[in-house]
Amino acid sequence: MNICTLYADVKTSTDMYIMSSIVSKSDLAFRKYANVPFSNRNIVIQAIKETISPLVCKLAEKEVYETGMGVVSDKSENLMLALCKTPGIETLAPLASTDDDGIILNDYLAYGVICAITPASNACATAINNIIGMLSSGNSVIIAPHPNAINVTHMLVSMVNQAIVSVTGISDLVSVLPQTSMKFVTEIMTHPLVAMVVATGGARIVKKALSSGKKAICAGGANPVAMVDETANLSHAAKCIVDGASFNNNISSVSEKSIVVVSEAADTLIEKMKAQGAFYINDSSEMLKLTRTAINNNFMPNRSIEGKSAMDILRTAEIPFERDIRLIVVETPRTHPFVMSEMMMPLIPLIRVNNFDDMLETALVIEQGHGHTATIHSQNIARLNRAAQVMQTSIFVRNGSSLSGLGFNGGSAPGFTIANVTGEGVTTAKDFARRRRYSLKTGMPD
């Protein structure tokens, strides 16, 4: 055996020991947590909120610095949304039914150790959203962060554990991998003591999660489309689309990634969007510059400008502008790479269509069967209902911004793990718990 082979074997053994140690500690923490009264889980969640809330801006700044994506103020809003509005134990109330033969009671049990894979796009908000839901259900959590967000995730988990230890004395209830590679993540996912895998990320990690042999909840690819017909309130539609597609530089999976508009309404919609801070491009030379900047030689999005501001993208493309720009709107054919790729940047293609039927058909093609998110602006009730039926997405927003689907501007739970692949949709504590049915008979047989 040569020295290189020996070194590789030693390193592999060391890595496996580290992974096994993390899982063993997480399993021990889960078993200790099982002895904490159900109502006391709220005390744990409240301690986490009180610890993290004053440090939200610091986390947001560190996340933007480390990942190079997004806007600090928007990330801060995401973090506060996750902290304040993620449902807890209140979603786990048992359901009972009775008849002459007795009582049927349905309640919720913890799975155990959960491996939660988080993305770079909303690293801390996704982790907080997952942690609150998973701890509410009685589980322990091992976070597997995206490599581009590993430092800020370690910082967050350290704060979370300080909060948990302060009220329970239990260490390692939430853990984080010391480094992230596909090998490490696979090792954790397939470990015998890991009961569930929750993957929020791209197709590759979702495929790994689904083949792990464990209960898997998977949030995969998305390409949300905004539909606008001629009956829509175009001022409102323009504001909603610009707000949603520019928020956090369009790195959220729910954010509008394309616009399909009936030709009759297109010109007015464009003018209204320009009034909201959009920069409109229909000049062929500028479109070519923008395409060369935002699309690489493999006809895929240029990762180096993902999450950058609209003005940074225009400067890189050497396209002049004279005012603050929130969003770039570019008119394209429906086959353009801007349309068929998930562009995680404040750049949104606009496609004109002849009528509502054409709009719906085009939107369905653009969404590509991801079943993630779609929005529509129309005042025709029949059209709204038909679009919802045809699109079949996990989030469907009528006459509102995609931010409503994320959990802003309403009473809905925040959605940072939107399980479009496995069908749970916006996940809450219920999705991280096993269902158990009690059957209680009225009496003993004679």
In a domain, 204, yes or no: yes
pLDDT, tens digit, 9 for 90 and up, residues 38-71? 999 999 999 999 999 999 999 999 999 999 999 9
In a domain, 45, yes or no: yes
pLDDT, tens digit, 9 for 90 and up, residues 193-216? 999 999 998 888 999 999 999 999
Same domain membership, residue 242 and residue 179 = no
pTM (two decimals): 0.92
Residue 19 or 136, more confident: 136
Q: Pairing mode, if any, of strands 258-262 and 278-281?
A: unpaired
Same domain membership, residue 335 and residue 314 = yes
In a domain, 417, yes or no: no
Burial of 192 (0-12, 13-18, 19+ CB in 10 A): exposed
Q: What is the residue range of 20's domain?
A: 3-220+424-440
**What is the C-alpha R_g of the chain?**
24
Same domain membership, residue 204 and residue 111 = yes
Contacts of 138 (CB under 8 A, 6+ apart): 30, 33, 34, 38, 41, 109, 110, 433
Same domain membership, residue 188 and residue 142 = yes
Same domain membership, residue 198 and residue 240 = no
CATH of residue 11's domain is 3.40.605.10
CATH of residue 351's domain is 3.40.309.10
Q: What is the separation of C-alpha 427 from the centre of its chain, rounded to a whole number of angstroms?
A: 10
Split into its structural domains, the chain has a count of 2
Same domain membership, residue 202 and residue 319 = no
Residue 153, pLDDT score: 98
Contacts of 285 (CB under 8 A, 6+ apart): none
In a domain, 419, yes or no: no
Measured CA to CA, the distance from residue 375 to residue 258 in angstroms comes to 10
- Centre a 10 Å sphere on the Cβ of residue 410 and count the other Cβ atoms it contains: 13
Same domain membership, residue 350 and residue 430 = no
Spell out a b/e string for 91-126, using b for 16 or more CB atoms within 10 Å of the CB, else e. Answer: bbeeeeeeeeeeeeeebbebbbbbbbbbbbbbbbbb
Same domain membership, residue 211 and residue 302 = no
Question: Average pLDDT for residues 325-352, to the nearest whole number?
Answer: 96
Structure-block tokens of residue 369: 């069967």
Residue 310 or 438, more confident: 310
Measured CA to CA, the distance from residue 115 to residue 203 in angstroms comes to 17
Q: How confident is the model at residue 9 (pLDDT cuts 50, 70, 90)?
A: very low
Same domain membership, residue 378 and residue 320 = yes
- Under a CB-based contact definition with an 8 Å cutoff, are residues 398 and 236 in contact? no
Element housing 313 (H / E) = helix 310-316
DSSP secondary structure letters along 16-64? HHHHHHHHHHHHHHHHHHTTS-GGGHHHHHHHHHHHHGGGHHHHHHHHH
* Residue located via tokens 């853990």: 175
Same domain membership, residue 253 and residue 146 = no
In a domain, 68, yes or no: yes
In a domain, 140, yes or no: yes
Same domain membership, residue 279 and residue 318 = yes
pLDDT, tens digit, 9 for 90 and up, residues 145-165? 999 999 999 999 999 999 999
In a domain, 432, yes or no: yes
Same domain membership, residue 295 and residue 243 = yes
3-state secondary structure of 85: helix
Q: How confident is the model at residue 446 (pLDDT cuts 50, 70, 90)?
A: low
In a domain, 174, yes or no: yes
Q: How confident is the model at residue 323 (pLDDT cuts 50, 70, 90)?
A: very high
Residue 378 or 444, more confident: 378
